[in-house]
Amino acid sequence: MKVTIIGVGGLGQALASGLLEAGTDIDLTICARRPGGLEPFAGRARLLFDTRDAVDDADVVVLAVKPKGTPELLQHLASALPSDAVVVSCAAGVSLARLEGHEVVARAMPNIGAQARASTTALCFGPGCLLSRDRPRLTQVFAAVGSVREVGDESQLHVVTAVGASGPAFVLLACEALADAAVEQGLSRNEALAWSRAAVVAAAARLGNDGDNIEPQVIRSLVTSPAGTTAAGLAALETHTVRAAFADAVRAATRRSRELAVP
Ligand SMILES: NC(=O)c1ccc[n+]([C@@H]2O[C@H](COP(=O)([O-])OP(=O)(O)OC[C@H]3O[C@@H](n4cnc5c(N)ncnc54)[C@H](OP(=O)(O)O)[C@@H]3O)[C@@H](O)[C@H]2O)c1
């Protein structure tokens, strides 16, 4: 399968690295505007600067440029795309209805886990999607960098983006704050970071992945003995209305996604 990724920023680079490391039978073309982004892929994929050349024999085209530039890019590509090319947009907030020129059959919302092949990618198929042909192709592309979760209702992609794509940054902020707090309690910066990272890794490992269905509070209760250290720490967190802070973060990210949807 011939896959072209257009745009080699944070996401395009993670996706391209994940696809190459996954060692699938995907024949990859990567298209950037500047040489810098392409250098890490020299000798491992077809590298091009001309977007129209990059798509002219593609089976799947992944649009990984900024939301603002995505509709214009698609218009520019339209007459160069093979009629049966499966085009997927990763642009946050840009609805399928705003993408004209060539049918964009789906929106994908991967996350930062893509580089470590640990993304859970939301895939939302539009009305133009031929499920028997397009779904397996797109699932193969995004499964190469983790797992795929279908979202049936496009309007839910706003909150899915807030939790699934922005959410890892919220968890990383918690990791950073844990390390800062440990420094305050006397650990060196390196030790503090090592232990805060260990805490996040342990929690993630116990939580498992999609298929495990374990609720976080069940795991949390296992380490919260009565009158113990974890109970004391959790009680302190609750006095700072940490849940309200997360609710605000998800609300703000969802709202921002909706704002981006308006041209
Ligand atoms: N980052 C994430 O984790 C993530 C997750 C889910 C969805 N997304 C979505 O994925 C898209 C990309 O996000 P990002 O974080 O990777 O953005 P980014 O870091 O700004 O990368 C966009 C890249 O696209 C390049 N580009 C723009 N127009 C181009 C063109 N016509 N031809 C070739 N390359 C072009 C830019 O090049 P220049 O540097 O030359 O401008 C830049 O390298 C966005 O729409 C975002 O909403 C991102």
* pLDDT single digits (tens) 154-203: 999 999 999 999 999 999 999 999 999 999 999 999 999 999 999 999 99
Give the Cα separation of 164 and 161 in Å (integer): 5
Q: Supply the pLDDT for residue 1.
A: 92
Ligand 1 binding pocket includes 144 (Cβ within 6 Å)? no
Q: Ligand 1 centroid vs 36 CA: distance in angstroms? A: 14
Q: Ligand 1 centroid vs 32 CA: distance in angstroms? A: 10
Ligand 1 binding pocket includes 63 (Cβ within 6 Å)? no
Structure tokens at 240: 């700072």
Ligand 1 binding pocket includes 260 (Cβ within 6 Å)? no
Q: Ligand 1 centroid vs 12 CA: distance in angstroms? A: 7
User: Is residue 61 left, alpha or beta, with left meaning phi > 0 and alpha meaning psi from -120 to 50?
Assistant: beta
- Could you tell me the CATH number of the domain that includes residue 25? 3.40.50.720
User: What's the structural domain count of the chain?
Assistant: 2
- List C-alpha distances in Å: 194 to 136, 170, 174, 176, 220: 40, 18, 14, 11, 21
Ligand 1 atom nearest residue 93's Cα: 47
Q: Which domain covers residue 53, as residue numbers?
A: 2-157
**Closest residue to atom 25 of ligand 1, CA basis:** 7
**Nearest Cα to Cα of residue 15 among 171, 208, 4:** 4
The answer to whether residues 118 and 229 belong to one domain is no
- List C-alpha distances in Å: 85 to 58, 115, 116: 6, 25, 28
Q: Supply the pLDDT for residue 165.
A: 93
Q: Supply the pLDDT for residue 132.
A: 85
- List C-alpha distances in Å: 258 to 110, 162, 255: 18, 11, 5
Ligand 1 binding pocket includes 74 (Cβ within 6 Å)? no
Q: Please give the model's pTM, rounded to 2 decimal places.
A: 0.89
Mean pLDDT, the chain cut into blocks of 10 residues (263 residues total):
95 90 87 90 95 96 94 94 94 88 89 88 90 90 92 95 96 98 98 98 87 86 95 96 96 92 72
Ligand 1 atom nearest residue 8's Cα: 43
Q: Supply the pLDDT for residue 163.
A: 97
What residues form DSSP beta bridges with 260? Answer: none
The answer to whether residues 150 and 173 belong to one domain is no
Residue 53 CB contacts under 8 Å (≥ 6 apart), including other chains = 80
Q: Supply the pLDDT for residue 210.
A: 67
The answer to whether residues 213 and 150 belong to one domain is no
The answer to whether residues 126 and 170 belong to one domain is no
Residues 8/29, Cβ–Cβ less than 8 Å: no
Task: State which of 157, 180, 203 marks the end of a domain.
Answer: 157
- Could you tell me the CATH number of the domain that includes residue 169? 1.10.3730.10
Ligand 1 binding pocket includes 7 (Cβ within 6 Å)? yes
Ligand 1 binding pocket includes 73 (Cβ within 6 Å)? yes
Ligand 1 atom nearest residue 13's Cα: 16
Ligand 1 atom nearest residue 92's Cα: 47
Side-chain half-sphere exposure of 130, counting CA atoms within 13 A: 9
Q: Ligand 1 centroid vs 60 CA: distance in angstroms? A: 17
The answer to whether residues 191 and 207 belong to one domain is yes
Ligand 1 binding pocket includes 162 (Cβ within 6 Å)? no
Q: Supply the pLDDT for residue 211.
A: 67
Ligand 1 atom nearest residue 70's Cα: 45
**Nearest Cα to Cα of residue 178 among 207, 161, 206, 202:** 202
Give the Cα separation of 114 and 146 in Å (integer): 7
- List C-alpha distances in Å: 3 to 8, 110, 167, 196, 254: 14, 16, 28, 38, 30
The answer to whether residues 172 and 112 belong to one domain is no
The answer to whether residues 153 and 171 belong to one domain is no
Ligand 1 atom nearest residue 69's Cα: 28
